[in-house]
Every structure is written in structure tokens, then in C-alpha cells.
Structure 1
């Protein structure tokens, strides 16, 4: 049996207060300040805690409350900013998985999975998704 390995990272986006963001998510995710011409307060997040690349972690002091970075980021974003959380992983090339979550500073989210392609073939090509084998089959 193979082991799932995943990776997670974000785009670079602007936050109101880098130390406050680090206090909120820094125990589980790497917050890397970026310096560039786009202005101050820009960061990139990496899931560097383990080999899952998952954006959800548990606070072992309170196992009932998972820490899900996309749900915690909106309050830290500068107005009009969008953080894109990307995850991709595999288990011995049998199971490939990936998703992206976009979070707007007003709290709205959009989530897309790689497997969403199967639903899209019905609307785009008029082909029944059930008639197409999955890439993991």
C-alpha cells in the first residue's frame, strides 16, 4: 500500500498585519513574507508541517477544532485581495488529487477540484460523466 503525499501553497497576497497572521496560522503553516514592488504586507503560505499538503490541521490542545487556513484568512487580507490555496497530491500515481480555494477579503470562497472536470464534460461536450472512466480507474 502506498502513502499519500501532498503539497500545499498559496499565491502571494497582501495582508493587514504579518505578525498577526503568523500568530493565527504560523504554528501549522509557513508564512513567508515577500518583498516586491507590489507593496508591503505581502506573503505566501506553504503547508510545511507534514507531507500531506493539507490546509486543515488539528490543534492538539483542542482536537474538536480543526484549523482550516482558508477559513481563517479573510480577516487578515487587505481590502480587495484574494488568496488562492492550492493543494495537489498523489498515492503512487493511482490516486491523483488536487483542489484550489479562492478566498476574497470579504469572506467569499470558491472551491474547485480536479475531479470537477467530470461534471464539466456533461455541460461542455454533452457527454454523460458516468460514461467516462475516472483517471484513477
Structure 2
């Protein structure tokens, strides 16, 4: 699959895909005989994984480290797992914080809606 197709499929610009590869955020992409990037299913799985992890807020440096460890082979399985567990724990904390903010916003919105209802009731009485 050419970079334009991958770009469209994952809603990432070709420049972003090239940058991800350059900094090691995704492993080096296969190239055809003309030197043009030719994304395999494995390459696309990496793009999908990184996009998912980035959208949840995982740091680029952590993901680069994960890819580096992956490329070193099976002897890094435990380290990779620990890295992912640590990130999951941090994400769980962020989700709890976001839940509190969400609930606070709901309360604030409810107060505005209550104020609007009271004003509407006053208008109806007139």
C-alpha cells in the first residue's frame, strides 16, 4: 500500500507518516524496487497502534522506546509489558481526573439550565 493510501486510511498526512518513521515511532517501512514506501499489513498495524496510543495521550518518547524494545526481540517482552502497564496506570489516573471534570461541568450546565427554567417561568407569569 502506498503512502497516499495509508495516509487516507488512517487520516494522517504523508508528512506525518514519514516523520513517525524518521523518529522511530514506527519501524522502518518496506520499500519497493524503486525505493518508494510500500506499506505491508504489519506496517499498517504499527501505524494503527501508534495512532491509537497517541490519541489516548501516550508520550511520543515512550512509544519510541516501546518500538525500540520491540525491535530488540523477545528478550524485551517483560520490559515492554511493564512499560504498557505503567502507561495504562497513568491513563487510568487521567481518566479519573477527566471524570471529575466531566461531572463538574455537568453540575455547572445543570445550574445554567435551572436558571434558564426559572427565568422562563417568570416570563410565562407575566
Q: TM-score, normalised by structure 2?
A: 0.23
Q: TM-score, normalised by structure 1?
A: 0.22
Higher helix fraction (1 or 2)? 2
Higher strand fraction (1 or 2)? 1
